Structures are given as structure tokens and as C-alpha cells.
Structure 1
Amino acid sequence: MKKAKYGIDAPFVPVSYSIFILALFLIGFLFVSAGHQWAYNFFGYGLFCCVLLSIYMHTTLKGKYQIWNKVLSEWKLNQNAHFLDLGCGRGAIFYLIVKTLGKTVKGTGIDLWRKVDQSGNDRSIAMNNAAIEGVSNQIQLITGDMRSLPFQNNSFDFVTSNMAIHNIKQKMDRRKALKEAYRVLKSGGILIIVDISYGKEYKAVVEELGMVNVTLKNAGWQGWWSGPFVSTYILTATKC
């Protein structure tokens, strides 16, 4: 049976780790071969980086799914809902949500399909993954910018985003994305963001917009992108 392929988040990170690890081992080997015993430290540094890389790969391949499974078990989302996923990429979390909620839910995913954010990020691959997962008739994929959403006000029952908004570099533009998410969300709808960086910034914006029941919490070790120094948080808020 064919399996969906969802790629790796921020692929330049594991590539950079791998190059750095190889360089450390090579330098260590060269200096130790020349009789410099202190150069064994390079092997230690290399092994430490291997651990960091392993943690990163666990998070991108397994951890993020564990986080969302927990989120979806805690929030009893409407199974007849129409929801929006910001920065859906190849569909990893987007389709997980659809499959978890069942055959009556409808989802719309929007992305700019930047490969720097996710390896092999492409709409055609996302469509193929939808077919493999059996959700093609429940989803719609749109090429667009989350800072200027092509939807009417109050269009969606809930809005989600996984590891996407932090890729917007400017604070003002991140604010635009959050305001757009708020605009298209129906009254009583829930915003769920799982991301790294800018958590307090996002919380301040959604509170300023008048959202209630705002929570911001750490997702735990399953969301460590190399270690606790780059961790994942979960932001939830409800539109009045």
C-alpha cells in the first residue's frame, strides 16, 4: 500500500547538522592522527550534535503528530465543521485533523509552497497525499498568503496552524496573519496554533483582538527541535 510522504520541516537544519558533524569527526581524525590527544574532544562534540540531530528528527517525524493527537483529544471539535489550516504544506497535520474528525468534516488548506519551510513542499504532492490518505473529497488546497486570506469574514468554524506563522519574518506581518485568522473565524470558533518562537507575541495580539479563553503552554519534549532551547508551544483562543 502506497504511503503518503510529508517531508522534513526546515530541511536545511538537519542538512547543516550533518555537514557540521562530518566536519567535526574529520577534523578530530586528522588531529588525532597527527598525535594531538586533545583533538578527541571533536569526537565528543560530534556525538553531542548527533544527539541534537536525533531529537530534531524525532520531532519532525513523530513528535509533532503526538502533539496534535493530544490537542485533538483535548478539544472536542465539531465533526461537521469547515476549518482552515494556515501553512498546510504537504498536509501532514491538515490531513491528520481531517481523518481524526471523520468523514463529515471539511478542510481548506492554504500555503505558498516554499521548499525552504518543508522539503518537497508542493501543491501537487499535497494533493497526492490527500488521495493516499483518502481525504480528497473533504479538502481544498489553495495557493495563497496567510497575511491576506481570500475568504469572507466568519467563514470557518475553527482555524489551525502548525509550524508556519513563525516563518513570517516581520512582526507586523505576523500580526497581519493573526488578524486574518481572526477575521475569517466564526463567532465561537477556536484558533489553535502549534509553533516555535513568538508565543507571547501571538498571545498579546489575540488578546488585543478580543479573543477569550486564551492559553499558551509548552508542548513538552515531543516538540523539542534539537533540545528544550528550541521548543514547541500550543496557543488556543476563542472568538467571541
Structure 2
Amino acid sequence: MRKRHGRYGFDAPWPLVGLFLGAILLLALAVISFVVDVAAAGVAFTFGGLYTLASAFSYLYTTRRGKFAVWDEELRRLRGDERVLDLGCGRGAVLLTAARRLTDGGRATGVDLWLSKDQTGNTEAAARANAEAEGVADRVDLVTGDLRDLPFRDDGFDVVLSGLALHNIPSAEGRAQAVREAYRVLRPGGLMLLADFQHAPDYEQTLRDLGVIDVRRRDAGWRYWYGGPWFATTIVEARKPTG
């Protein structure tokens, strides 16, 4: 995987901070337990602390490196001339991974409401600065918009992507509407890749309700764990029917 030049922040930083603080607390309790000669408690706190620390490092690896490796592999299939849309692009982790592969006239468009709840420093300016740093600003467009009401024409994109954005929509109907909008702007025969650690079966069902047959869910693997397999990321992959 090539070196990244942009600044992509941390995904949902407060849970990450909580994991590290929890590990420190448990290990401190382990030390206290051994000092006061309560060995059983000390052993339990030690295992709990090490387990929580491992979860914290898993989370840190995913947000800083693992997710980039997964998307780099997913997007190797691009030819280079596609029109790509990234839903909830944030600071551009997925968007710019795609843009680097668009070397034959393709364009990458990112759409977001630029909220900072689930990513540090999530602003349009940060995404634009990252596009400049990565050397792909000439093929990247940034749009402020709601995923439930995309400001794009029907069948306008060859590829529609999303990396851990749809779950931020609070209602089930809102998430289904976002998937329907993604489907609307995807051209017939186009590729959709929706990565999330929640609601993936619902995304698949919404696509099936739209008549998509070529759709499947798959585990993105350990590099996309946010702390462990209980927060594994699932990828919903689909092709829009051509007829």
C-alpha cells in the first residue's frame, strides 16, 4: 500500500479514547489487587486490561491503516475512466483511494454533510486539502448534500461507494432511502460497494426489494475491525441490473 500524504483523523475518536482509558484503569486495578494480596482479582483485572488494550490497538490500526488497505484492494478493479461517487466521504479516505486509480479521465465525487461526530476534523476544507496533498484534486469534486436526497441525476455514476457512513442516519427508513438514492444515481451495470458495521442485512434487503439480484454480503476481514470481531465491517456488493 502506497504512502498516504493527507491527514485523515480518527474514526469515532471517543470510543477509541475510552478503550485506552479502560485498559489503563483495569491494569491499575490489577496492580492494586496484587499489592493488597488479592491475586484472583489481580489476574482477572490483568486479563481484562490486556484484552481491552488489544481492542484499542485493533481499533487504532483500522482507523489509521487497515481500512485504507481494504479499500485499496477493493478498488483495484477500477479501469481508470469511471465516474465514482463516495457517500459520506468525510476527509476523503475512500474517495481519494478511488481518485488515485482514475488515471484515464475518470472523476471522483464526494458528498457529505461534514459533521464531526464520527470523524475528527470532518470538513470540506480538510477533504479538499487532502485531495491536494494526494495530488488528485484535478479529478475530485466535493458536494454538500444529504445522502437521503442526492443532488445528482439518475444513472450518473459508474461506481457508488460508502465507507461507514450510512449507519449515521438515525432511522431505518432514512437509511433505506439513502440506499434507494444510491441505486437511483448508479448507472445500469454499475457497481455498488457499501461498507458498514451495522445494518448491512437491511441494505441488502433494500437492494433486493429494488430488483437487484446480483447482490451479496461479505466480511471485510480483520483489518476493518473496530476493536474486535464484534465490530467487524461488512461489505454489501451489488450490480445494478441492465435490463
Same fold (TM over 0.5): yes
Q: What is residue 152 of structure 1 aligned with on the other side?
A: 153
2:53 to 24, 33, 50: 50
SS at match of 1:25: helix
Q: 1:60 maps to which residue?
A: 63
Counterpart secondary structure, 2:101: helix
Corresponding residue to 2:27 among 25, 28, 38 = 25
Aligned counterparts of 2:103 and 2:144: Cα–Cα separation in 1: 25
- Structure 1 residue runs of 4+, over 6 Å off? none
SS of 1:126 mapped into structure 2: helix
In the TM superposition, what is the alpha-carbon distance from 1:198 to its structure 2 partner?
A: 1.2
Name the residue aligned to 2:74.
71
Residues in 1 aligned to 2:14 and 2:39: alpha-carbon distance in whole angstroms: 33
**What secondary structure sits across from 1:107 in the alignment?**
strand
TM-superposed CA distance for 1:26, in Å, is 2.9
Answer whether contact 2:78 2:101 (CA < 8 A) is retained. no
1:27-176 equivalences in 2 (<5 Å): 27-40=29-42, 41-73=44-76, 76-176=77-177
In structure 2, how many angstroms separate the alpha carbons of the residues matched to 1:7 and 1:136? Answer: 19
Q: Matched residues, percent identical?
A: 36
- CA-CA distance at 1:38 after TM superposition: 3.0
Aligned residues: 238
Q: Please list the CA deviations of residues 158-214 of structure 1 after superposition, one character each: whole Å capped at 9, or x if unmatched.
A: 111111111222111100100110111112211111221211111110011112311
CA distance in 1, matches of 2:68, 2:5: 16
**Aligned-pair CA distance for 1:2:** 9.4
Letter paired with 1:195: D
> C-alpha separation between the residues in 1 aligned to 2:187 and 2:103?
21
| 1:28, distance to aligned residue in structure 2 (A) | 3.0
Distance (Å, rounded) in 2 between the aligned partners of 1:167 and 1:95: 21
1:122 alignment partner AA: T
Structure 1 pair 166–66 and aligned structure 2 pair: CA distance change class (3 A): same
Offset of residue 78 of structure 1: 4.2
Query: Is residue 103–residue 138 contact of structure 1 (8 Å, CA) maintained in 2?
Result: no
- Identify which of 12, 16, 19 aligns with 2:18: 16
SS at match of 2:217: strand
Mapped partners of 1:102, 1:233: distance in 2: 28
CA separation in 2, counterparts of 1:34 and 1:194? 48
**Cα distance, 1:100 vs. partner?**
2.0
Root-mean-square deviation (Å):
1.8
Could you tell me which amino acid in structure 2 is paired with residue 34 of structure 1? V
- Cα 1:77–1:212 shift into 2, 3 Å: farther
Gaps of 5+ in 2: none
Q: TM-score, normalised on structure 1?
A: 0.92
CA distance, structure 1, for counterparts of residue 191 and residue 52 of structure 2:
39
Structure 1, unaligned stretches of length 5 or more?
Answer: none
